[in-house]
C-alpha cells in the first residue's frame, strides 16, 4: 500500500522565494537612495519591457538583426507617442488650467443651484437651519477645492517642467534602446545567477510574474487609453466644458479599476449641473460614464486584460499611494510592477505554507 506523501518542510522549498524577496527589497532600497536620478532609467525600462516582445518576434520570425529590429520598433513607438503628445498635450494643459482657475466659481454656482433643494430637505427633515447646512457644506467643499487646486497646480507645474526638459526623453529612449538590445544577454545572465537546485522553481515564479505583470500593464494601459479617448470625445460632443480634460484624465485614472470612472462621473456631473442647471443634462453626462463602465466591464477588460492576470484594485491603489508617498514620481511608476511581483510571491508563500508541516502537521 502506498504511503501518503509527507508534508514538505517550508524553509527548504522557500529558498527561491527568499532570494527573489531579497532581490526585490534590495532593488527598492537602491531606488529609494537614487530616486532623484532614476526617472529616465525607470521610464526606459518600462518602455523596453512593453515592446520587447515585438522586437523579439521581429528578430526571430523575420530574421532581422536585433539592433535594427530595436531601432525600427522603438522609432515607430517614438513617432506615434510623440505625435499623440503633440496633439493632445497642449489642449489638455489649456483645459486643465481653465478648469482649476474656474473651480471656485463652479463651486459657487453649484451652491446657488442647490439652495432650493437644501431648503426643501430642511423643511422635510427638520434638520438645522438652511444657513447652517449651507455653511457646513460650503466650508467642507471649499477646503476640498483648495487642496485639490493646490495639487492640480502642482501637477501642472511638474508636467510643464518635465516637458521643458529635453534631456529626460532623450535619455529615456537611449536607455530603452540599450536595454532592448541587451535584453537576451541580461535575461541569460540573470538566469545563470540562480542556484541550480532552485532554477526550476525560480523560473516558474518568474514566468508567473511576467504573465501577471505584462498582462496587467499592457492590458490595463490599453483599456485606460481607449476609455480616455472615448470619454474625451463623448464629453466634447455632449458640449461639456473642460470635457476633453475630464474625459481623458478619467480614462487614464482607470489604470486603477473603477477609480477613474468614479472620479470622472462625480466631477463631470457637477460641472454639467453648474453649466446648464438641469438634471436632464447631468443625467446625459452620467449616462456616458455608465455606458463606459458597461463596455469596459463586459468587453474591454475581459478581452484585453483577462480574468487570470487581474490585480485587485485595492492592492493597486495602495501600491500607488505608497510608492508616491515614499519615492514620488519614480515610486508611482514602479508601484504596479512591485504590486504584481508581491502578489505572485504571496501566492507562492501561501501555497508552500499549505504543503508544509506547519500547516498539515506531522505524520502519525
Residue 161 has pLDDT above 50, yes or no: no
pLDDT digit string (tens) for 314-350?
777 788 788 878 877 778 778 878 888 888 888 888 8
Find the mean pLDDT for residues 129-146. 52
Q: Which residue has the cell 532623484?
A: 36
Higher pLDDT, 45 or 214: 45
pLDDT at 286: 92
Residue 158 has pLDDT above 50, yes or no: no
Q: Residue 354 CA to chain centroid, in angstroms?
A: 32
pLDDT at 18: 72
> Which pLDDT band, with edges at 50, 70 and 90, does 287 fall under?
very high
pLDDT at 13: 47
pLDDT at 285: 92
Find the mean pLDDT for residues 242-270. 84
Kindly give the residue spans of alpha helices, DSSP state H, lying in the chain: 10-13, 15-33, 39-61, 66-101, 103-125, 130-164, 167-192, 199-237, 243-252, 259-276, 279-295, 313-354, 357-360
Q: Which of 171, 192, 218, 191 is nearest to 53 (CA)?
A: 218
pLDDT at 147: 46
Return the domain boundaries, the chain. 37-193
Cα angle for residues 46, 47, 49 (degrees, 5° grid): 65
Residue 231 has pLDDT above 50, yes or no: yes
pLDDT at 173: 86
Find the mean pLDDT for residues 310-316. 72
Range with the largest mean pLDDT of 144-158, 195-209, 231-245, 313-327: 231-245
- What rounded mean pLDDT belongs to the chain? 76
pLDDT at 117: 61
Q: Would you call 333 helix, strand, or coil by DSSP?
A: helix
Residue 102 has pLDDT above 50, yes or no: yes
Amino acid at each position: 500500500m502506498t504511503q501518503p506523501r509527507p508534508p514538505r518542510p517550508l524553509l527548504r522549498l522557500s529558498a527561491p522565494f527568499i532570494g527573489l524577496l531579497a532581490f526585490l527589497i534590495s532593488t527598492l532600497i537602491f531606488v529609494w537612495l537614487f530616486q532623484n536620478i532614476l526617472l529616465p532609467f525607470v521610464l526606459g525600462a518600462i518602455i523596453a519591457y512593453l515592446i520587447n516582445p515585438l522586437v523579439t518576434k521581429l528578430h526571430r520570425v523575420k530574421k532581422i538583426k536585433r539592433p535594427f529590429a530595436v531601432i525600427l520598433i522603438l522609432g515607430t513607438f517614438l513617432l506615434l507617442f510623440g505625435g499623440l503628445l503633440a496633439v493632445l498635450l497642449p489642449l489638455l494643459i489649456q483645459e486643465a488650467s481653465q478648469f482649476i482657475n474656474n473651480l471656485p466659481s463652479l463651486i459657487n454656482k453649484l451652491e446657488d443651484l442647490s439652495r432650493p433643494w437644501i431648503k426643501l430637505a430642511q423643511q422635510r427633515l427638520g434638520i438645522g437651519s438652511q444657513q447652517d447646512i449651507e455653511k457646513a457644506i460650503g466650508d467642507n467643499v471649499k477646503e476640498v477645492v483648495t487642496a485639490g487646486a493646490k495639487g492640480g497646480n502642482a501637477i501642472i507645474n511638474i508636467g510643464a517642467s518635465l516637458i521643458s526638459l529635453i534631456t529626460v526623453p532623450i535619455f529615456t529612449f537611449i536607455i530603452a534602446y540599450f536595454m532592448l538590445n541587451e535584453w537576451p544577454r541580461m535575461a541569460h545572465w540573470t538566469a545563470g545567477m540562480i542556484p541550480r537546485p532552485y532554477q526550476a522553481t525560480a523560473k516558474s515564479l518568474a514566468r508567473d510574474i511576467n504573465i501577471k505583470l505584462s498582462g496587467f500593464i499592457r492590458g490595463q494601459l490599453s483599456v485606460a487609453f481607449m476609455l480616455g479617448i472615448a470619454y474625451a470625445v463623448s464629453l466634447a460632443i455632449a458640449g461639456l466644458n473642460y470635457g476633453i480634460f475630464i474625459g481623458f484624465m478619467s480614462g487614464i485614472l482607470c489604470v486603477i479599476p473603477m477609480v477613474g470612472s468614479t472620479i470622472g462621473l462625480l466631477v463631470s456631473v457637477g460641472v454639467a449641473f453648474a453649466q446648464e442647471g438641469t438634471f436632464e443634462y447631468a443625467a446625459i453626462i452620467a449616462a456616458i460614464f455608465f455606458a463606459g463602465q458597461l463596455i469596459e466591464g463586459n468587453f474591454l477588460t475581459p478581452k484585453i486584460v483577462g480574468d487570470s492576470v487581474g490585480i485587485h484594485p485595492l492592492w493597486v491603489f495602495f501600491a500607488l499611494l505608497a510608492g508616491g508617498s515614499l519615492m514620488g514620481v519614480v515610486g508611482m511608476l514602479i508601484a504596479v510592477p512591485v504590486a504584481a511581483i508581491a502578489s505572485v510571491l504571496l501566492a507562492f508563500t501561501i501555497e508552500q505554507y499549505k504543503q508544509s508541516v506547519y500547516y498539515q502537521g506531522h505524520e502519525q
